[in-house]
Structures are given as C-alpha cells and as structure tokens.
Amino acid sequence: MSTVSTDTHSAAHGEHAHTSSFLKNYVFSLDHKIIGLQFLFSTLIWFFVGGMLALGIRWQLAFPWRPMPILGNLLATAEGGQIPPETYTMLVTMHATVMIFFVIIPILAGAFGNFLIPLMIGADDMAVPILNMASYWVMWPAFIAMGTSFFVEGGASQGGWTAYPPFALTQGDGQFLWLIGLTLVGISSMMGSVNYMTTIIQMRAPGMTMFRLPMTIWGMFITAILQAFALPVLTAAGFMQLMDLKMGTGFFIPEGWTTNNNPMASGGGQPLLWQHLFWFYSHPAVYIMILPAMGMVSDILSTFSRKPLFGYKPMVYSISGIAGLGFIVWGHHMFVSGMNPMLGMTFMVSTMMIALPSAIKTFNWLGTMWGGKIQYTTPMLFAISFVSMFIIGGLSGIFMAATPIDIFIHDTYYIVAHFHYVLFSGTAMAVFGGIYYWFPKMFGRMMNETWGKVHFTLTFVLLNCVFFPMHILGMTGFPRRLADPYHYETFRNLIPLNQFMSYCAFALVGVQIIFALNFFGSMFFGPRAGRNPWKSNGLEWQAPSPPGHGNFDFQPIIYRGPYEYGSPEVDEDYYPQTQPPPEADDETSKDE
Amino acid sequence: MRRFWSILFLLVPILGVATFVAAPYYNIWFPKDVSEHGRTIDNLFMFILWLTGIVFVVTELTLFWFMWKYDERSTKRPVKFSHGSHALEIVWTILPAATLLFIAIYQMEAWASAKMLPPDLKPIVEVTGRQFNWDFRYPGPDQELYTEDDIVRTDGKLYLPVNEDVMLRITSLDVLHSFFLPNLRMKQDVVPGMEQSMWFKAKETGGYDIVCAELCGWGHYKMKGRVYFLPRDQYELKLEEMRLEQNTMRAELPEEEDE
C-alpha cells in the first residue's frame, strides 16, 4: 500500500490531541468529526429510549391491561406497571417523536453528515465550524425539553407525533415542551443544512466535480436542500400551535369549539391548516429520513460488489427528482382528512410518480450487484437487507397512494407496516451498515465481524417477524393507536398474532445488546484498522484512521469518481479517487 | 457462507408470499364486506397486491440469484466493469412510470364515486363525534334536521335501511375523529367546524362495527359504535319506537342538542 508511510503521521496527530484538555476536544469541539460522533452517541442513546417506549406499546398490544414487568414500573409508576390508556397514547406519540426527530434525522444528517461530508469531498472541515457546533448544542435544550416533558404534570404529549389540533391543544405542558423541543430540533437541522450546502458547493477538493461526489454526499446534499426549504414551514406552524396553546390565538381552533363536552374559547381557525403545514414539512422529511441512507447503501453495495455503481447519473437524477416531487405529494397523508376530494386525485398522481425514482434506484442497486464479486461483510449484509426491505416498504406505499384503497387502510396497521419497513428495516438497517462500514474511520479500529453477522442475522429475521404481519393486520382494518383494540370483538382473534409479534419485538430489542457490546468493545479493543481496511475507493479512506485535525495529511487531488472498482486500468480491483492515472503521471509532474 | 446468506434472503419472498397465502386460512383477512362499492375497493386492493406481489417476488428472486451466483469465492472471472446501461435505464424508467400512471388513472373512478359524486339525497342521519362517543340525530318524520321532531340517540347504535343509498352528514363537537366502517370500506375524518358527508349502500342486514380511526384522546380506543342495517319496514318501526321512547323521556335529554 502506498499510504503506509503516512500512517506514522496520524499517530503523531493523535498524540497531539491528547495534550489539550478533554473538554475542549470532546465537548466544545469545532471539529466536524467530533461533532459527528457527539450526534452519533446522543442519537444512539435516544434510539435506546425510543426502543423502550416501543416495548411498552408492544406489551399493551399483546397483553392489554396486564401489568408490565420491569419496564412497566418506569412507564406507569402509579398503576403498578399496568399501562393506562393515556400512557399508551403518550407511548405512541413519544416513540414516534423520539425515533424521528431524535434518532433518524439527526443520525443521518447530524452524525453521518457531519462526519462524512468533509472527508468525502476533501475538505478540512465544514464551511462554518461554529455553526456546526451550535447545531449540536441546540439539540441539548431539545433533549431536555422532551426529556423533562415525561415528568411534568399530565406527562409527555399524547397528541400523536403529528400533533393534530384541536386535540393537541387540549394537552398541557407536555405538548408545550414537545413544541419547544420540535422547534429546537428544527433550528439545529436548519443550521446543519445551511452548513452542508455551503460545504458541498464551496469546499470540494480540486478535481472533485459534482458528478464525482459519492452517492452519500448526493443524498446529504439533497437532504440539506429539502430541509432548508421545508423546515421554515414546520417552524412557523410550530409557533402558531404554540400561540394557540399558550397565548389564546386561534389559528387551528374552529369556531364554537368544545372539549370534554365543555365549550372553550373559540378561534375561527381551521384544524386542517395544521395538517397541510405539518405535512408540507413532514413529507419531505420522509425523504430526509431515507435519501442519505440510500446514498450510504449505494456506496457500501458498490464497494463490496467490487464493481462500479450501476447507473450513477440516473441515481443522481432520481434523488433530485425525489427532491422536486417531494414537495407536491404531502396531501397523500390527508386523503380522508376532509380536504377537498378533488385534490386527492392530484396528490394520487404525484404520489404514484414519486414511486418511480425509488424503483429506478432499486433496479440500479440490483444492477450494481449483477456480475460483481460480492464480499459478504457485515456492512454489505446490512446494505443488501436495505434493498430487500426497501422493496417491501416501497411496494406497500403504492396501496396507500391509491386513494380508494387508502379510504380503507388509512390509519390502520397497514400504514404502520409501511413506514416501519421504510424507516426501521430501511433506514435503521442502512445506519447499522454505515456504522459497521465507517467505524474503522471513526475510531481507527475494526468492529468484530462474527458478532456483527450474528447481530445482522437476528435483527433481520426478527424485524420481519415483527413488521411483516402488520400488513395482514392492516387488511383486517386493525386501527393504529388504540390502547385496547380488543375492545372490538372483531379484533379478538388477532391476539395470538400480536403476541407473536410482541415476543419478536422484545427479542429484537434484546439482540441490540450484541451491537452495543460489539460497538463499545471494538472502540477500545478492536484490531487496528489502517487507512483503508475495505480496499475502498472513497476519498475518506485515504485519510488516516481516525483522521486528525484538518483531516488529510496530504492535499487531495481527485482524478475520478468513487466507484471505479475492477477498473482494467490498474492491477488491483480498486482505484482510489486520489491515485493519479498511469498516463497522467507525467503530465502532473510537468505541471508542478 | 454465501449459501447461508443467499438462502436467508430467499426466505423473504417465500415467507412473504406464504404469509399472504396462509392468512385467509386463519381468518385474518378483509372484514366481511356488506356494501355495494366495497367490492370495488377490495378488487383494486387485490389487483395492486398481485401486481406488487409479482414485482416483489421477481426482484427478491433476482437479488437472491445475484447473491448466489456472484459471490467473491465462486466467481473466477473479473467483474463486469460496467457503469450502467442507457437502454436498461430507459426501460426501467418507462415501464414503472407507465404502470404507476395506469394504476393512478385506474383508481380515479372508484375514488370519484366514493368521495366526489354524492347522490342527490337528504342526510338520513347526522353523526356527531365527541370524546368519546358517536351521537346520532335522525331527522324524524319531516325529513329535516334540527327541527322539533328530531330523534337524538347517544347510545352509539346507528340504524340504517338496507339496500338503499343513504347519505350521512358527519360532524365533530370537539376534536378530530374518524368515522370508520370497516365492513363498508368507508372512512371519513371528522373535523370540528366542518361538515362532511358519506354515502353508501349496504347489501346485508346485521350489526357492524363503527370504529374511531383518528387519535382523539385517552378514550380513543373505546369510541366504539355499532351500525345496524334493517329492511325498510323494520327500520321505520325502529325509528318510530325510538321516537316514542324519546317522547316519554324528553325531560332527561341532554341540553346541548337544543337550538
């Protein structure tokens, strides 16, 4: 390897870092890599919290009103572990809120985005490091707001993660803190996305044209654009709801409104307005939650198929297409909301069309694997499972896009199946793959492959046991968010199936211990990785592992795209982006 | 190990299809359909299920086959150094685009008849959602809502005539609810301050669930009702019976219904 000689350099870097104070380096750091890791650790902790909340939901669905052992004492102290209906609604609300706003969005954009963008484009840091630090530190008041909301009177928000007024407005301080937390997450994302766009546009290394960017960066770039344009709407809507809640305005409060059968201050507002504003952000947010994952999967698939990514440009065009279409499909969440049904037709057509870029991407992933030499490493298995599961999640979306069918399956478990296939079986699996893949770059050590594969196999099998039957539940009309669905005699025959799903869900959460042990164990005791353990082309693999301040110990000059695996031009099966082409060698030396 | 991983992924289409095949035998399938248009919706569902099912099986099998065939150890020849294929991209852009557009256009009629083209009928009942009950107001003999002879019921039981087009007016008193009739494949969110209507024609007599399908509070799960479809003569009798019952207990009527 030509890069071995520079490894000593990185060790020197590392030692240098140790001489400064711990606080300065790891807490108040301006370094994009540290900020990325701060995001990673914070989101992994929230991932655990969100998982615990899900266990409460699954317990109640399997054994309604029975005291929940162990966790029940935390979730429902007063009731001796028995989950009361208001706690159940709190659980569904907070499970979704935590998973979406504190895990998936920040782990993709915050953790991977921060860590990878400068490394993959050849910059020494983000364009505005201080903004970057602020984007992480704004998350903390959000964490505190959401965290404390569990302990205020009335508990955390029970209004659903969509916070539909007027019901959300009947909530107390929990809803207030929820809105504060949401707004702060929005501010954090906004700071991040402005920074990402600037960095990607302005700070690419010489030779790194837009069409030589890895798909991960394209995913992050489009995500940043989506966030920058969609978030202001959510923030504004959040403030409007905040004012309705606390200051007596009536944006979302209809005339003559009553609650709990008592008349309330009336507003002359319109509850549907919130849904439009909320989904105008939250539908693009669906793509914010999947595009970076798609990019990461593309990189991993190409690396371990030892083959160029199939159809790079169509992939770029299709995610750009998603970004455009993503803004005109929000109404498909509102087909039966009471919105003019004429609009349902328009939104159905645009929604059907947005399935197209996803289909193109899936075919291209299959094309990437076709004729390759597939190495079954842990990140590769997670990436393949993303493709396999995304096929299910993508296809089930077509049912909901079809308006007449949506009349029946809207707000049933069919929807729950769909978004868990996209977000858990899709994004979360890609995130696991990304962690296994970039862990050597993050910490300079390898994760254990054997335990990684055990973790993969168990997670893959169990998640399908939990989420696949939800499709069938949805077909029976089994509604979401019911504290006790078996209150309806018709659903009583579904108890055994729900119990099976719950057992699998408990096991699914349980096997993540393997991941946690592997992660923390490898951080300290894993074998040293070297610069490029996967023999990968990407620019980030030319930097030391872990990269020191300023990332690169040489000036990266980019000669080609990141996917030139198996190129006939070189003997090895990989061809790093920085390696000068054989015949161009003379030219560059002449230039110098 | 390649065999292990390929077969693990082969299980996805096999067990996926098996789940859908086995479910009806365990009686976990669509609820019984008693409406006239419900068959259209079920058929559209099955149409898309077949279509996506085929795509699902084919793509998952392709994935399995590539995993089986192109693993590192058994592949001796060099990889296909290919950056893609223009022709293939065009094929797999146009084919799904045409299919998706077809699905969208194919659905429009069913959507229009379920939600956009109301029959010219007066509402046979007004449904009001409130935390956590469905209230029903029948127009009474004069066929006009909000008159002296209205019949107001708060027991969560709705009586409707069978084999007739019926028009329901649905509103909410407090928060969002959703009036969901699984057996009639009908659902409509109810928004306070707005009036929605729903129309359908039931084909069979009997009692069926009314489900609230939009989170409306702690008691959301118990916001349950029943709809009973009766032949016209029995329906008239039932209305008369309810009217008499109401006349004898007028004093105990809740105040909120007064205009």
Selection from A224, A168, A382 nearest residue A296 by Cα:
A382
Q: Is the pLDDT at A241 greater than 80, yes or no?
A: yes
Cα gap A420→B166, rounded to integer Å:
38
Residue A141 lies in a domain: yes
Q: How many CB atoms lie within 10 A of CB B87?
A: 8
Q: Is B63 on the interface with A (CB under 8 A)?
A: yes
Tokens coding A508: 């699914």
Q: Is residue A4 part of a domain?
A: no
Residue-level pLDDT at A174: 92
Question: Which chain A residues touch B196 with a CB distance below 8 Å?
Answer: 338
Return the structure tokens found at A263. 């008349």
Residue A592 falls inside a structural domain: no
- As a whole-number percent, the residues of chain B with pLDDT over 90 amount to 79
> Residue type at A239?
F
pLDDT at B204 over 80: yes
Q: Helix, strand, or coil here: B118?
A: coil
Which of A1 and A61 is assigned the larger pLDDT? A61
- Quick one: closest CA in A to B3, which residue? A376
Count how many domains chain A has.
Answer: 1
Residue A11 vs residue B6, higher pLDDT: B6
Residue from B110, B51, B66 nearest A363 by CA: B66
Residue A18 lies in a domain: no
pLDDT score recorded for residue B74: 81
A335-354: per-residue pLDDT in tens? 999 999 999 999 999 999 99
Residue B254: predicted pLDDT: 58
* DSSP code, position A310: T
Q: Give CA–CA dist A547/A568, Å, rounded.
A: 30
Task: Please work out, in degrees rounded to the nearest 5, the angle formed at the alpha carbon of residue A313 by the alpha carbons of A309 and A315.
Answer: 70
- Residue to mutate among B21, B168, B180, B220, with most A CBs inside 10 A, is B220
pLDDT for A138-166, tens place per residue? 999 999 999 999 999 888 999 999 999 98
Can you tell me the mean pLDDT for A532-543?
A: 94
Provide the token pair at A469.
């039957």
Q: What is the mean pLDDT of residues A95-103?
A: 96
- Sign of the torsion angle spanned by Cα atoms A336, A341, A345, A350: negative
Residues of B in contact with A485 (CB under 8 A): 221
Question: Which residues of B are less than 8 Å from A258 in CB distance?
Answer: 130, 173-174
| CB atoms near residue B195 (< 10 Å) | 13
pLDDT in tens, B22-63: 999 999 999 999 999 999 999 999 999 999 999 999 999 999
Mean pLDDT of chain A: 90
Interchain pair A493, B56: CB under 8 A: no
Asked whether the predicted pLDDT for residue A35 surpasses 60, the reply is yes
pLDDT band of A75, cuts 50, 70, 90: confident
- Look at B192 and A403 and tell me if their CB atoms are within 8 Å: no
Instruction: Decide if A260 is inside a domain.
Output: no
Query: Which segments of chain B belong to CATH 2.60.40.420?
Result: 125-257
In angstroms, the CA A446 to CA B238 distance is 75
User: Quick one: A470 exposed, middle or buried, by C-beta within 10 A (0-12, 13-18, 19+)?
Assistant: buried
| Predicted local distance difference test score (pLDDT) of residue A17 | 47
Shortest Cα–Cα distance, B118 to chain A (Å):
12
Judged by a CB distance cut-off of 8 A, whether residue B36 touches chain A is no
Q: How many CB atoms within 10 Å of residue A457?
A: 16
Inter-chain contacts counted by CB atoms under 8 A, chains A and B: 320
User: In what order do the strands lie in the sheet containing B133-138?
Assistant: B151-153, B133-138, B125-130, B165-172, B196-201
- The token duo for A470 is 């939800």
Q: What is the pLDDT of residue A302?
A: 96
* Percent residues over pLDDT 70 in chain A: 93
CB contact under 8 A, B115 and A372: no
CATH number of the domain encompassing residue A551: 1.20.210.10
In whole angstroms, what separates CA B223 from the centre of its chain? Answer: 17
Q: How confident is the model at residue A20 (pLDDT cuts 50, 70, 90)?
A: low
pLDDT at B123: 93
Q: Is the pLDDT of residue A254 over 90?
A: no
Q: Is residue A9 part of a domain?
A: no
CB contact under 8 A, A464 and B20: no
Chain B residues with CB under 8 Å of A362 CB are: 59
Residues of A in contact with B211 (CB under 8 A): 477, 479, 488
Q: Does B8 touch chain A (CB under 8 A)?
A: yes
What mean pLDDT is predicted for residues B101-116? 92
Contact: B89, A314; criterion CB under 8 Å = yes
Tokens representing residue B206 in the block: 């009997």
The answer to whether the Cβ–Cβ distance between B115 and A407 falls below 8 Å is yes
Q: Cα A226 to chain center, whole Å?
A: 14
Q: Judge whether B221 and A487 are in contact, CB under 8 Å.
A: yes
Enumerate the H helices of A247-309 as residue ranges: 271-288, 291-305
Residue B231 near residue B205 (C-beta atoms within 8 A): yes
Q: Percentage of residues in chain A with pLDDT exceeding 90?
A: 80
Domain that holds residue A49: 31-253+266-586
Residue in A341, A348, A395 closest to B116 by CB: A341
Classify burial at A549, counting beta carbons within 10 Å of its beta carbon; exposed 0-12, middle 13-18, buried 19 or more.
middle
Digit-coded pLDDT (tens) for A170-196: 888 999 999 999 999 999 999 999 999
Question: Rounded mean pLDDT of A529-553?
Answer: 92
Question: Looking at beta carbons, which residues of chain A come within 8 Å of B20?
Answer: 471-472
C-alpha radius of gyration, chain A, whole number? 24
Choose among A344, A391, A408: nearest Cβ to B187: A408
- For residue B113, what is the nearest residue in chain A, using CA coordinates? A404
CA A27 to CA A243: how far, in whole Å? 35
A566:B196 CB<8 A: no
- Tell me, yes or no, whether A17 lies in a domain: no
> Whose structure tokens read 């009908």?
B186
B175–A259: do the CB atoms touch at under 8 Å? yes
Rounded-to-integer distance, Cα A213 and Cα A201, Å: 11
The answer as to whether A479 is a domain residue is yes
pLDDT digits (tens, 9 = 90+) for B141-200: 888 899 888 999 999 999 999 999 999 999 998 899 999 999 999 999 999 888 999 999
Band of the pLDDT at B256, cuts 50, 70, 90? Answer: low
Q: Does B184 touch chain A (CB under 8 A)?
A: no
The region of weakest confidence among A131-145, A200-214, A543-557, A572-586 is A572-586
DSSP E strand boundaries for A406-526: none
pLDDT digits (tens, 9 = 90+) for A448-469: 999 999 999 999 999 999 999 9
- Return the pLDDT at B259: 46
What DSSP element (H or E) covers B237?
helix B232-248
Work out the number of other CB atoms within 10 angstroms of the CB of residue B66: 22
Whether residue A376 and residue B2 make contact (CB cut-off 8 A), yes or no, is: yes
Between chains, do B81 and A392 touch, taking CB under 8 Å as contact?
Answer: no
CATH 2.60.40.420 fits B125-257, yes or no: yes
pLDDT in tens, B144-157: 899 888 999 999 99
Q: A352 contacts in B (CB within 8 Å)?
A: 100-101, 103-104
